[in-house]
Chains A and B, each alone.
Chain A
Amino acid sequence: METLFFLIISLVAIISAILVVTCKNPINSALALIMTFFCLATYYVMLDAPFMAAVQVMVYAGAIMVLMVFTIMLLNIRVDATKKHSHKLVIGSIVGFFTFLNVVIVLVKSRAALPTGPYSGEMIKKLGHTELVGKEIFTNFLLPFEITSILLLVAIVGAVILAKKKI
């Protein structure tokens, strides 16, 4: 049952990812990308990471995609504005195919020594995923978390400066 569900979600994710690349109108690409993000959130739930799924839906499908759709509508681009639709499609597909082979071989076949930890599925269910991630962030990853705030501040200032009338 779970395998069937996984296959259905995979099908939707891949079809909507292909639609992101192939749609002529950027708005359709954006909507397909939102569908892909929801499929990824479903994967996170299946991987016992409900907090990541919530953040995925709120930050990616909510904030970032709203920003993109807003920009698309603000710029009001004609669909047929570009004379030639795409670059070399064949070369891009070949490079994409070899990227796929490369990533699959590296991820599935490699024998890297990875750090294991104590968090099993039952333990995550018992203690709560959000609590465990919060404990990790505010103990082991406290300094990167604080540096993230500086990154966001720089991004805000940069966006405001760049979007002014004259640069």
Chain B
Amino acid sequence: MENLNSYLVISAVLFSIGTIGVLTRKNAIVIFMCIELMLNAVNLTFVAFSRHLGNLDGQVFVFFIMTVAAAEAAVGLALIIAFYNNKESIDVDDVNLMKW
């Protein structure tokens, strides 16, 4: 399907839903999944523009974003596990050690 704008609107919808999730949820893992959703919305924009412009650079960028997301998932989940070992909770409200 050639229509660029419909892909962009879908991407914007997914990005906004991810934003709402990050702002409203308290469970750290769900916040993490919402960040993944936002990254995927950006990936869709990259691929749609890449196809529209006939330039493959965008898809190579998507490849790198996926690599960064994998690294982020590994380190982020390790952080969540370390936090759970300390506090017995993954509620982001309990991350208040440096709160003034």
The answer to whether A87 and B15 touch across the interface, beta carbons within 8 angstroms, is no
In order of increasing CB-CB distance, the 7 nearest A-B pairs are A117-B55, A155-B71, A96-B20, A92-B23, A162-B78, A100-B16, A92-B24
Residues of B in contact (CB 8 Å), total 70
B71 shortest CB reach to chain A, Å: 4
Binary contact track B12-49/A, C-beta < 8 Å → 1, others 0: 11111111110111110110111011001001110111
**Which residues does A use to contact B, with CB under 8 Å?**
2-3, 6, 10, 13-14, 17-18, 20-21, 26, 29-30, 33, 36-37, 40, 43-44, 46-49, 51-52, 55-56, 59-60, 63-64, 67-68, 71-72, 74-75, 77, 81-82, 84-89, 91-93, 95-97, 99-100, 103-104, 107-108, 114-121, 132-133, 136-137, 140-141, 144, 148, 151-152, 154-156, 158-160, 162-163, 165, 167
Query: Are A55 and B48 within 8 A (Cβ)?
Result: no
- The answer to whether A30 touches B19, judged by C-beta atoms less than 8 angstroms apart, is no
Closest A-chain residue to B71, C-beta based?
A155
**B52 CB, nearest partner CB in chain A, Å:** 9
Are B8 and A75 in contact (CB-based, < 8 A)? no
Q: Tell me if B91 and A82 are in contact (CB < 8 A).
A: yes
CB neighbours of A37 from chain B (8 A): 40
Nearest B residue to A19 via CB reads B17
Expressed in whole angstroms, the minimum distance between the Cβ of A100 and any Cβ of chain B is 4
Closest A residue to B10 by beta carbon equals A10
- 9 sampled A-B residue pairs with Cβ under 8 A: A18-B17, A44-B47, A67-B74, A68-B29, A81-B91, A99-B16, A104-B12, A115-B55, A165-B85
User: Distance in Å from the Cβ of A73 to the closest Cβ of chain B?
Assistant: 11
Also in contact, A52 and B62, with CB within 8 A (given A59-B70, A82-B26, A99-B15): yes
Given contacts A52-B62, A99-B19, A103-B12, whether A162 and B82 have CB atoms under 8 Å apart is yes
